[in-house]
A and B are shown apart, each in its own frame.
Chain A
């Protein structure tokens, strides 16, 4: 059975907003964006946000809930995503390789249908919303495979409908320019200017143990069930080059030194890993504050 990580990183956007307010920041860059729900929150609270990530579907989701100010999906448009449309030829076997391994035959057919339908959507905003919504369906199925008796069987199209509808509720505007880019950390840091840089660095070699819900969805979006997410991190700063301890430390130091233009750097870590990052932050910044509401939620805040 596939392993789902019990602990995934917790980024509390509301806590982050409190910190940004405290330090007088009205714009922020996150070069390790991940699922960009925290950027959506900050955007709704009038902070201009810019995210970057190497994983394509994170960026697409960001186009739906971060960049997108107004585009929503009407009922008929959602219906066109969740069901097979007459007259369209579908690659229903696209995800056959997952059949019997992770998903049922029906689920694999739906994954193929949704992939084709989403690829045919008219705007980046709609595509992002659909990708973000449908990801929750994948997560539900994987969770249900682990706890079959505790979760109900819901028809795939109904589940997809509900989740896409819910993703649409996050669309809002802050009347500011918000961006997402598919880029490595340093490119994102150098490409943007903002009051604050937020970084939640990945653990060393974490790309090798990526959560199934993340890499599978990238494989789905790429239309390739054999897709290996390590491709996304090839030649990246936190890829192979930082596989050893010294390389990882160098990567962190280079991120912080590249951020010299940012008035505030907020690094989120855990109590356990605080010692790993604190010396780097103290090297890079004149003043460092530590805010630790929880052992697994510690913020190192560096100012000039």
Chain B
């Protein structure tokens, strides 16, 4: 049975949603590592194609597919990319060697993945001759699917397919196992180097121990680690949903707002510093930056069908209540109420963080400070609800 045939069934709404969440996780991590959009999908499809040429079992092919999609999961929070770290090139390279190991740890936490996924992620960058990382495994010590993933990554990430083909064949017995290079060569000749898109093998996801919401929560945790804002996503989500409930928003809106709050930090993944470190939360100068980060996060979230509504909330979170925000200069009720809430809680969290950490004579409470922007930057009704929520939590 081919991988494609094997991938035909098992598409219950739950597994579809889980598949979307996991591939979204992979895409956001790849984004954080600087990979171009769609790269993970291409690598996974190619790896599966080579695996068929290498005669891997269907279960190995499935594990390989998910490992390819999540191969850069460990980049989230890696010190080579993290905020405020300016490591010398040698040190940054060594930090990047830890990406596969951290990715493997994350894959282990995602209990529904095929059995060997974590180990394929762990050993994806091992070289046949022992010059790879993290473990410098060599020869048959490297699991076959991991050898194939290494080849697939080399091909897809290269700028020129023909040059990549030459490089892979010339590195047979060095970076790549002769078997993996051979399987790749056969695939290349049969497919003229063209990668066919493939469906996510949903039936390979097993058990119900991990739901899409768990994937988003785990991703939010890693985004916070990457942005050096520990716990921020959960704080934002708690405040935002608290306000939404007190304003009697529909359940669907509250759920979308929850995801928007959890994942809004995705827009800052490639920034050298988080936006509140560059501009004060209430500064007009920060509008463009906030809108850009909001658009980046919204684009990422928009690629996941379950997060379409959350995406629209995130996109509008840099609008100002008086219409002087960005990107669309919406004003008053034209700004979705969930976006008004998200904008306010993000600013409030930054002010609270500032209040907690800065030694300053200005001891004004964050609520009082944010209240000064009522009617201009923020919806006064939202700020009233925010004040009540904060008071209730206190």
Contacts and interface: CB of A to CB of B under 8 A. Distances in A.
Contacts of B129: 136, 139-140, 163
Interface in B39-72: none
Interface stretch (A108-116, A144-152, A219-227): A144-152
A8 B182 contact: no
Contacts of A152: 169-170, 172-173
A8 B140 contact: yes
A93 to B, nearest CB: 28
Given A136-B129, A136-B130, A151-B178, A37 B135 contact: yes
Contacts of A172: 94
Contacts of B130: 35, 37, 136, 139
A13 B135 CA distance: 6
Contacts of A13: 134-136
A277 to B, nearest CB: 21
A169 B93 CA distance: 9
A41 B173 contact: no
Given A8-B138, A14-B122, A163 B131 contact: yes
A166 interface: yes
A163 B129 CA distance: 10
B216 interface: no
B137 A12 contact: yes
A9 B137 CA distance: 9
A205 interface: no
Contacts of B137: 10, 12
B139 A37 contact: no
B173 A150 contact: yes
B242 to A, nearest CB: 37
Given A14-B101, A147-B178, A8 B139 contact: yes
B177 to A, nearest CB: 9
A136 B136 CA distance: 12
Interface string A159-186: 0000100100110100000000000000
A74 B192 CA distance: 42
B119 interface: yes
A166 B134 contact: no
A88 interface: no
Contacts of B136: 13, 37-38, 40-41, 170
A40 B134 CA distance: 10
B131 A150 contact: no
A150 B172 contact: yes
B114 to A, nearest CB: 15
Contacts of A151: 172-174, 178
A6 interface: yes
B181 interface: yes
A144 B172 CA distance: 10
Contacts of B140: 6-8
A143 interface: yes
B141 interface: yes
Given A8-B141, A14-B134, A136-B131, A144 B173 contact: yes
A170 B94 CA distance: 8
Nearest to B122: A14
A100 interface: no
B338 to A, nearest CB: 41
A14 B135 contact: yes
Interface string B279-323: 000000000000000000000000000000000000000000000
Contacts of A44: 94, 97
A155 interface: no
Nearest to B133: A41
Interface string A1-19: 0000011111111110010
Contacts of A9: 141
A293 interface: yes
Given A14-B122, A144-B173, A163-B131, A150 B181 contact: yes
* Max count, chain A CB within 10 A of own CB: residue among B101, B170, B174, B182: B174
Interface in A74-111: none
B131 A38 contact: no
Nearest to A170: B136
Nearest to A40: B136
Interface in A1-54: 6-15, 18, 35, 37-38, 40-41, 44
B327 to A, nearest CB: 43
Contacts of A144: 173
Nearest to A167: B131
A172 B92 CA distance: 12
A169 B92 CA distance: 12
A140 B174 contact: yes
Contact of B134 (A41, A140, A143): A41
29 contacts: A6-B139, A6-B140, A8-B138, A8-B139, A9-B141, A10-B137, A11-B135, A13-B135, A14-B100, A14-B122, A15-B122, A37-B130, A37-B135, A40-B136, A41-B134, A41-B135, A41-B136, A139-B130, A140-B129, A140-B173, A143-B173, A147-B173, A147-B178, A150-B178, A150-B181, A151-B172, A151-B173, A163-B129, A169-B93
Name the 4 nearest CB pairs between A and B, nearest first: A151-B173, A37-B136, A10-B141, A150-B178
Given A14-B104, A140-B174, 18 more contacts: A7-B140, A7-B141, A12-B135, A12-B137, A13-B135, A35-B130, A41-B136, A136-B129, A139-B138, A140-B129, A143-B173, A143-B178, A151-B172, A152-B173, A166-B131, A170-B136, A293-B119, A294-B119
